[in-house]
A and B are shown apart, each in its own frame.
Chain A
Amino acid sequence: MPQVEPGPDIHLRDVRLVLGARRFEFDLTLRGGAITAVIGPSGSGKSTFLNLVAGFVFPKSGQIVIGHQDLTPEHPAERPVSLVFQDNNLFGHLDLFTNVGLGISPSLKLSKEQRLGVSAALSRVGLGGMEKRKPSTLSGGERQRAAFARALVRHKPVLLLDEPFAALDPGLRLNMASLLTDLQAERKNTVLIVTHDPDEVRRLADDVVFIDDGRVILQAPAADLAARRDIPAIASFLDG
């Protein structure tokens, strides 16, 4: 296997934001090429954190830097990121080939090579030959696989996952987690995954970022999380 360049670091530099009555303050660096789990109680600001990196929400002040590029004012489409949400990852009225192909070109102008790439990506996630299927004929797990296939063809160095497995049952979650770690081993992407499942953290993450009330209260290697039961929010997270 050829040596792959690890994904870029992500810096949130003194990022401040107010949404309604909530305040958010983030100032940290996420390690490039690693899987970082973003965890915390519900409503603490995990999704906002991800939306800041993705560009769905703009900070009031501060900078968002990926690698060496300041991307603070850029529209989501201009950022080097791929996204997988909890649901509605696919357009329900378009077949799988189109849904994945849109990851390469938003107006589906594909070269022959790229068309082959779409099929290859579908095979890679275990959906080979399903190009013509509509999302409604797929199971929840298959739909998430298709979303991963789209992330694959995009070749973006950063992968943002917003509770991607939350709607799946436990067996499937295990399955999908190993798909994710395999893909990560190949591509060395910088991965951020929002999750509320302590098992998923243990299984997947290199690092964790624990968010509580709009700020990061712990950033550490995932292995150290269990040792921080002294922080009540973390203890209650671990006890699920």
Chain B
Amino acid sequence: MMMTRRQRRWGLAGSAIALAATALFILLALAALLASQPATTDGWIFSAYTFRILQFTLLQAALSTLLSTGLAVPVALALARSSHFHGRLWVLRLMALPMGLPVLVVTLGLIAIWGRQGWANGLLLSLGASEPISIYGLSGILLAHVFFNLPLACRLMVSALERQPGESWMLAAGLGMNSVSVFRFVEWPALVRILPGIAGLIFMLCVTSFTIVLVLGGGPAATTLEVAIYQSLRFDFDPPRAIALALLQIALTGLVLALLATMRRPEERISTLGGARIRFDGRTLAKRTWDTLWIAMAVAFLLLPLDAVVSAGLQADLGRLVTSAAFASAAATSLAIALASGLLALAMSIAIVRGRLTVAETQGAGAGAVAYGRILGATSSLVLLVPPIVLGTGWFLLLRPWGDVSRFAPVLVVAINALMALPFVVRVLEPAMETHHARTARLTASLGMSGLWKLWHIDRPILMTPAALALSFAMALSLGDLGAVALFGSSDFVTLPWLLYSSLSSYRTADADGLALVLGAVCLILAVVGTSGQDSNRSRRAAG
């Protein structure tokens, strides 16, 4: 047995506490929702109103998924084929950016480009289009969802294409396949295996999308469940309706998650060490022009809104803004929340992974232990089942009898943000901890190393980096989050995204632009730091 009894006890106890805390936090919110009387003006969950919202939620998610995945295919094929293109790595890095940026910040950039006065509409009108594209309503929501999800789909597809053995491309060239045959026999089979997984993931993200719909949607004609819940609680103060909507949302995410579980999970592993496959096809001028065109369009689509955020932000009076009392207090609140939720997510993830390692190592583990390991593994999905707004609604109901709910806001936002980050943090930490364990467990056991000395001298030097990366990413998520704060924010509890949203809603555009730049930059740095390890993991193979 490689762990001492003490280590095993800690491993099991720690994970049990983390699991119990997570489950309790989620289940209490659920219980509060279920115990309350859901009702709409018609008296039941399904009214004409909720049905319309459900319909729109599904419609926008389906269209967003279709557009994001469909448009990602030609871009991904072009990128995978352009093994000789030097900027390829930068394009792939650019595609990782949207995930690390606060949704609100990106939305501002999109409005600048695609809004009524935007650059893109000007171009379309001068090209003879009769009507400008509206950034508000369905078209705007779709645009923003494509902005976030096309790059995600694209990276996953490029990764799948790169995992094809190099011999496939040589063989294709040797057999003299033209591009249609290459697509039919090599590329399409590689993509089709992961397409359902990618589409499912994007559908899930769009079904639970909050900020984009809050800013670009509006009115019963373009509202999703999440936003409708928020509006029921904050504006109409109609808790029964919020409950009805929340229950619908859980049923919907549960259904999508169940479907997702049956699909192959797409892996993202892009070789950044120049390990791209050498491709022999796509060398003709026509093919190269085609590829360049798709890549250029994708880059412009991603870069222009980001550029708009930067240039608008630079025009704002940044000096005055960052020295203002409102900014200082919001920044302090945001940082405190981000740090607390990041550390909480980190601690819970470590406990969960250690628990799984302990179970995995238990020799002759009984069915109970195996089941416990599975449950620990499923914790992340449990977290996804109940979106932040729904969690918040549940806790809103639970705490209302105890006085003003906004008093509990900091604690709730920290907890909700930590849960949101949990799946990501586990994903960063688990492989690192597994490898470290595999390398050192026998050795440390045979030398009798344990306790704090081992933690400090053996585990800390190796695991500090992945832990810091995970923390950084978790903090970026929390800093950019508007969802949890939107429910509980008050004049006493203002975070940076909430301050940005308030400036936006009160038409203080210059302030909003400046804030967006600052917030975007901070989140981006944290997210880039947080994901940097994933690329270099393989090059840092510890010797010994």
Q: Give residues in A with beta carbon < 8 Å to B.
A: 18-19, 54-58, 60, 75-78, 81-83, 85, 87-94, 102-103, 106-108, 134-136, 138, 143
The proximity string for B residues 451-482 relative to A, scoring 1 for CB distances below 8 Å and 0 otherwise, is 00110011001100000000000000000000
6 example contacts (A-B, Cβ-Cβ < 8 A) are as follows A75-B448, A76-B442, A77-B448, A93-B461, A106-B454, A135-B544
Nearest CB in chain B to that of A87: its residue: B544
User: How many Å lie between the Cα of A134 and that of B461 in the bound state?
Assistant: 14
In the complex, what's the smallest C-beta–C-beta distance from B357 to chain A, in angstroms?
15
User: How many Å lie between the Cα of A106 and that of B451 in the bound state?
Assistant: 10
Nearest CB in chain B to that of A136: its residue: B543
> Which residues does chain A contribute within 8 Å of B1, judged by CB atoms?
55-58, 75-76
> Which residues does chain A contribute within 8 Å of B440, judged by CB atoms?
88, 91
Say yes or no: A77-B447 contact (C-beta < 8 A), given A19-B363, A56-B1, A56-B2.
yes
B506, CB-defined interface residue at 8 Å: no
Say yes or no: A56-B445 contact (C-beta < 8 A), given A92-B543, A94-B457.
yes
Q: Give residues in B with beta carbon < 8 Å to A.
A: 1-2, 4-5, 363-364, 439-440, 442-450, 453-454, 457-458, 461-462, 542-544
Nearest CB in chain B to that of A102: its residue: B447
Q: Decide: B446 and A81 in contact? CB cutoff 8 A.
A: yes
Q: Decide: A75 and B4 in contact? CB cutoff 8 A.
A: yes
Q: Decide: B363 and A58 in contact? CB cutoff 8 A.
A: yes
User: How many Å lie between the Cα of A134 and that of B364 in the bound state?
Assistant: 38
A54: which of B446, B458, B542 is its contact (CB, 8 Å)?
A: B446
> Which residues does chain A contribute within 8 Å of B445, judged by CB atoms?
55-56, 75-77
B449: which of A89, A90, A106 is its contact (CB, 8 Å)?
A: A106
In the complex, what's the smallest C-beta–C-beta distance from A49 to chain B, in angstroms?
15
User: How many Å lie between the Cα of A90 and that of B543 in the bound state?
Assistant: 8
Q: Decide: A90 and B544 in contact? CB cutoff 8 A.
A: yes
User: How many Å lie between the Cα of A81 and that of B446 in the bound state?
Assistant: 8
Q: Decide: B544 and A88 in contact? CB cutoff 8 A.
A: yes
> Which residues does chain A contribute within 8 Å of B2, judged by CB atoms?
56, 76
Q: Decide: B442 and A106 in contact? CB cutoff 8 A.
A: no
Of the listed residues A55, A77, A89, the one surrounded by the most CB atoms of chain B closer than 10 A to its CB is: A77
Say yes or no: A135-B446 contact (C-beta < 8 A), given A18-B364, A76-B2, A91-B458.
no
> Which residues does chain B contribute within 8 Å of A107, judged by CB atoms?
449, 453
> Which residues does chain B contribute within 8 Å of A134, judged by CB atoms?
543
Say yes or no: A106-B447 contact (C-beta < 8 A), given A55-B1, A83-B442, A88-B439.
yes
Q: Decide: B446 and A83 in contact? CB cutoff 8 A.
A: yes
Q: Decide: A92 and B542 in contact? CB cutoff 8 A.
A: yes
In the complex, what's the smallest C-beta–C-beta distance from B311 to chain A, in angstroms?
45
User: How many Å lie between the Cα of A90 and that of B542 in the bound state?
Assistant: 10
User: How many Å lie between the Cα of A88 and that of B442 in the bound state?
Assistant: 9
Q: Decide: A57 and B442 in contact? CB cutoff 8 A.
A: no
In the complex, what's the smallest C-beta–C-beta distance from A142 to chain B, in angstroms?
11
User: How many Å lie between the Cα of A108 and that of B5 in the bound state?
Assistant: 22
Please give 18 more A-B residue pairs, beta carbons under 8 A apart, in addition to A93-B462, A93-B542, A135-B544.
Answer: A19-B363, A56-B1, A81-B446, A85-B443, A88-B440, A88-B442, A88-B544, A89-B443, A90-B544, A91-B440, A91-B544, A92-B543, A94-B461, A103-B447, A106-B449, A106-B454, A107-B449, A136-B543
> Which residues does chain A contribute within 8 Å of B443, judged by CB atoms?
83, 85, 88-89, 91
Q: Decide: A102 and B449 in contact? CB cutoff 8 A.
A: yes
User: How many Å lie between the Cα of A76 and that of B449 in the bound state?
Assistant: 11
> Which residues does chain A contribute within 8 Å of B449, judged by CB atoms?
77, 102, 106-107
> Which residues does chain A contribute within 8 Å of B458, judged by CB atoms?
91
> Which residues does chain B contribute within 8 Å of A82, judged by CB atoms?
446
> Which residues does chain B contribute within 8 Å of A135, judged by CB atoms?
543-544
> Which residues does chain B contribute within 8 Å of A81, judged by CB atoms?
446
> Which residues does chain B contribute within 8 Å of A143, judged by CB atoms?
543-544
Nearest CB in chain B to that of A104: its residue: B447
User: How many Å lie between the Cα of A78 and that of B4 in the bound state?
Assistant: 11
In the complex, what's the smallest C-beta–C-beta distance from A157 to chain B, in angstroms?
15
User: How many Å lie between the Cα of A233 and that of B1 in the bound state?
Assistant: 31
Nearest CB in chain B to that of A92: its residue: B542
> Which residues does chain B contribute within 8 Å of A83, judged by CB atoms?
442-443, 446
User: How many Å lie between the Cα of A106 and that of B447 in the bound state?
Assistant: 6
> Which residues does chain A contribute within 8 Å of B442, judged by CB atoms?
56, 76, 83, 85, 88
Nearest CB in chain A to that of B450: its residue: A106
> Which residues does chain A contribute within 8 Å of B462, judged by CB atoms?
92-93
B544: which of A54, A57, A92, A103 is its contact (CB, 8 Å)?
A: A92
User: How many Å lie between the Cα of A107 and that of B450 in the bound state?
Assistant: 9
Nearest CB in chain A to that of B448: its residue: A77
Q: Decide: B363 and A76 in contact? CB cutoff 8 A.
A: no
Nearest CB in chain B to that of A156: its residue: B446
User: How many Å lie between the Cα of A195 and that of B4 in the bound state?
Assistant: 29
Q: Decide: A77 and B446 in contact? CB cutoff 8 A.
A: yes
In the complex, what's the smallest C-beta–C-beta distance from B5 to chain A, in angstroms?
8
In the complex, what's the smallest C-beta–C-beta distance from A68 to chain B, in angstroms?
22
> Which residues does chain A contribute within 8 Å of B542, judged by CB atoms?
92-93, 136
> Which residues does chain B contribute within 8 Å of A92, judged by CB atoms?
439, 462, 542-544
User: How many Å lie between the Cα of A106 and that of B442 in the bound state?
Assistant: 13
Of the listed residues B363, B444, B543, B544, the one surrounded by the most CB atoms of chain A closer than 10 A to its CB is: B544
> Which residues does chain B contribute within 8 Å of A91, judged by CB atoms?
440, 443, 458, 544
In the complex, what's the smallest C-beta–C-beta distance from B449 to chain A, in angstroms?
4
User: How many Å lie between the Cα of A136 and that of B454 in the bound state?
Assistant: 21
> Which residues does chain B contribute within 8 Å of A60, judged by CB atoms?
364
User: How many Å lie between the Cα of A94 and that of B363 in the bound state?
Assistant: 30
> Which residues does chain B contribute within 8 Å of A136, judged by CB atoms?
542-544
In the complex, what's the smallest C-beta–C-beta distance from A25 to chain B, in angstroms?
16
> Which residues does chain A contribute within 8 Å of B454, judged by CB atoms?
106
User: How many Å lie between the Cα of A89 and that of B447 in the bound state?
Assistant: 11
In the complex, what's the smallest C-beta–C-beta distance from A76 to chain B, in angstroms?
5
Q: Decide: A106 and B448 in contact? CB cutoff 8 A.
A: yes
> Which residues does chain A contribute within 8 Å of B450, judged by CB atoms?
106
> Which residues does chain A contribute within 8 Å of B446, judged by CB atoms?
54, 76-77, 81-83
User: How many Å lie between the Cα of A91 and that of B461 in the bound state?
Assistant: 10
Nearest CB in chain A to that of B452: its residue: A107
> Which residues does chain B contribute within 8 Å of A90, judged by CB atoms?
543-544
User: How many Å lie between the Cα of A166 and that of B450 in the bound state?
Assistant: 29
